[in-house]
Amino acid sequence: MAGEKNPTGQTAGVDVNAVIATAIAKAGGVGAVGQGSVYLGTKLTSVPGVIAKPGAKAEKIPDVKTIAQANSLYLNDPRVRANWSKTMRKYGLETGNPLVERKAWETAVAGASDWYVTSNQTAKITPEQYLQWWAAGSTKKKAPKPDLSRSVYEYTPEQIGADIDKIAQSVLGRTINDADKAASWYSDLTNAISNMAAKGTVSQVKDVRNPKTGKLERVTTQTPEFTTQATAAKIESTLKNIAPEDAERKKRSDFMSWMSDQIGGR
C-alpha cells in the first residue's frame, strides 16, 4: 500500500529521485540546473500520489540535463538522433554524415548551455533553437541568377575613328579631316556606334532533352545585337548622306577604273 515503509526507510512505490528532480526543476535550484546544464525543452512527469494532491495528473516540467547527459542521450536514443537529423534538414544543413551531425549536436548543446547558464536559467534556449540561429547567421543569401548573359564588344574611340576613316576612303575617296571631326555628324556617328557596341551579344542557356538520344543537353543560344557588318553599314550610310558629291565622284571613279581594266584586258 502507498505509504508503507520498506526496510531501507523509503516509501514503497515512490521514486525518490524523481521527486527530488521534480522539486529542483520547479524551484530552479541547484544540481542539474547548475553549471554545465542545458535546457532541452519540456517533458511529462508523474508526480507521486503521496506528495501530490488527490487526482493529480502528469504535467510538463523543464527537461534539464548536464552537457554530458545530453551528449550521451544523443548517442543512446535513436529518436533524438532522428529528430536532430530532421531539424538539420529543416534548416538546410543536411549532410548525411553521422560524424558531422553528432558534432553539430554537441556544438548546439554547448551553445544552448552557455545561454541557459549565463542567464541564470532565464534564457531557455534548446539545441534546436541554437541550431536555427546558427543556420540563419551562416547562410548567405544567394545572388539572383541572371536569366541572360551579355558579351559586350570593347570598341574604343580610336578603333571607331580608324574604321570611319577606312570606310571614308572606300566610299568618299578621301580620309576624314579635322573639319569632319569637328562637325556634329561625326560625334553623332561615333556615339551611335558606341551604343551599338554596348549591346553586345546576348546568350541564353537552357537544358534541353535531345529527342533522339534522350540525353539532357545544355544549349546556348546567342543573339548578336552588335556586328561589325552593321557598324560598317551605319558608317557608310552616314558618309553618303553628309557628302553625297564625294560619294558620287568616287562611284564614277571606281566605274571608270573598272571599265579601263575591262578594255585593257581584251
* Residue 140 grid coordinates: 548567405
Residue-level pLDDT, tens digit, the chain, 266 residues? 444 444 333 334 434 334 333 433 443 333 334 458 999 988 887 655 555 566 667 778 888 999 999 999 999 999 999 999 998 888 888 677 888 899 999 999 999 999 999 999 899 999 999 989 888 865 555 566 777 888 887 889 999 999 999 999 999 999 999 999 999 999 999 999 999 988 888 888 888 888 888 888 888 888 888 888 999 999 999 999 999 998 899 889 888 888 887 786 55
> CA 74, CA 167: separation in Å to the nearest integer?
80
In single-letter form, the type of residue at position 127 comes to P
Q: Give the closest residue to 250 by CA, choosing from 192, 129, 168.
A: 168
Q: Give the closest residue to 87 by CA, choosing from 126, 145, 45, 42.
A: 126
Q: What's residue 215's pLDDT?
A: 85
3-state SS assignment for residue 118: helix
